């Protein structure tokens, strides 16, 4: 690991200024991804700006049928939050299957969404629920946030402060996990809302994506059988040591059916 400056700001404007001062600086949240990256010398930032001391960017609240989760809220806190469990149980369930207890105790929702690992769980929940990413500078709809393979709409000095999730009528998440890391080989989040159905897939490709064909079928009949015959095109999906593209395509339908069954309370 190379040496770097370490800052602990107490206010968001101060954190943004510190990031702007040194172009090669990075926000630090739970460090679950960033610290190993530094240790392996895959990144060598001049400075880390620790978000841990910032006020008002941790915890869960609700109002107007929206659940707001602060960026520094850990996966364990989301998984155990009575508010999230009652309003969007599928999101609490998603958080509860991220990594292992150590990862869930340190890793944060803001860090996960900013990192946009193609096999991460939260991007499926964020896109599947049509959430809004709130940053130090603006609000970004999930549709316009994820650019694929660790790329997002975030600008270099922009900090995620919270994520706003509209409360769905019902939702479910199912993932086929890699046995060692528990990252998603394929994960599917399905949400039934007053305006339609959303299906978001993680793990299968270079970034999270929606499946309009399944969304249309589920809007007509919200039941696993409605999508049982839908086959996803394997072209462009990921092939790696865990699964080839054809198997991943198959898993999308299997996981989507399980997610719908979960949303119906039948799984």
- CA–CA–CA angle 193, 251, 206 (5° rounding): 80
Q: How far is the CB of 182 from ligand FAD (least distance, A)?
A: 4
Q: Using alpha carbons only, what angle is made at residue 196 by residues 188 and 85, rounded to the nearest 5 degrees?
A: 55
Token pair of 243 as six digits: 């699964």
From 9, 15, 18, 26, residue interacting with ligand FAD (rule: CB under 6 A):
26
| Span near ligand FAD by CB under 6 A; candidates 11-19, 32-40, 141-149, 211-219 | 32-40
156 scored as a contact of ligand FAD (CB under 6 A):
no
Backbone angles phi, psi at 87, to 5 degrees: -90, -45
Q: Which of 60, 67, 78, 98 binds ligand FAD (CB under 6 A)?
A: 98
- Angstrom CA distances, 200 to 126, 135, 175, stand at 9, 22, 12
Q: Are 128 and 93 in contact (CB under 8 A)?
A: no
Among 16, 19, 28, 259, indicate the residue that binds ligand FAD (CB under 6 A).
Answer: 28
CB closer to ligand FAD, 122 vs 263: 122
Using the rule CB under 6 A, is 62 a contact of ligand FAD?
Answer: no
What minimum distance in Å lies between the beta carbon of 224 and ligand FAD?
24
Give dist(CA 226, CA 76) in Å, integer. Answer: 34
The residues with which 170 forms a beta bridge, in sequence order, are 192
Binds ligand FAD by CB under 6 A, chosen from 159, 200, 211, 259: 159
The site for ligand FAD (CB under 6 A) is made up of: 26-34, 51, 71, 98-99, 103, 106-108, 110-112, 114-115, 117, 120-122, 154, 159-160, 181-183
């Amino acid at each position: 690991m190379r040496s770097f400056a370490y800052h602990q700001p107490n206010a968001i404007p101060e954190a943004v200024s510190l990031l702007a001062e040194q172009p090669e600086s990075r926000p630090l949240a739970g460090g679950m991804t960033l610290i190993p990256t530094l240790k392996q010398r895959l990144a060598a930032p001049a400075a880390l700006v620790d978000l841990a001391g910032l006020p008002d960017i941790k915890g869960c609240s609700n109002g107007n049928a929206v659940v707001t989760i602060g960026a520094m809220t850990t996966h364990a806190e989301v998984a155990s939050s009575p508010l999230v469990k009652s309003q969007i149980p599928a999101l609490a369930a998603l958080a509860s299957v991220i990594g292992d207890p150590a990862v869930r105790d340190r890793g944060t929702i803001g860090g996960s969404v900013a990192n946009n690992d193609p096999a991460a769980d939260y991007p499926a929940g964020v896109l599947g629920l049509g959430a809004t990413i709130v940053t130090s500078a603006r609000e970004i709809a999930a549709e316009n946030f994820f650019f694929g393979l660790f790329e997002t709409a975030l600008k270099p000095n922009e900090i995620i402060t919270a994520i706003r999730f509209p409360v769905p009528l019902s939702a479910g998440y199912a993932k086929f996990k890699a046995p060692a890391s528990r990252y998603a080989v394929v994960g599917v989040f399905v949400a039934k809302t007053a305006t339609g159905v959303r299906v978001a897939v993680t793990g299968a490709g270079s970034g999270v994506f929606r499946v309009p064909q399944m969304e249309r079928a589920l809007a007509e009949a919200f039941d696993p059988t409605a999508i049982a015959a839908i086959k996803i095109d394997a072209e462009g999906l990921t092939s790696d040591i865990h699964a080839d593209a054809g198997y991943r395509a198959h898993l999308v339908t299997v996981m989507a059916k399980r997610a719908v069954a979960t949303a119906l309370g039948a799984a």
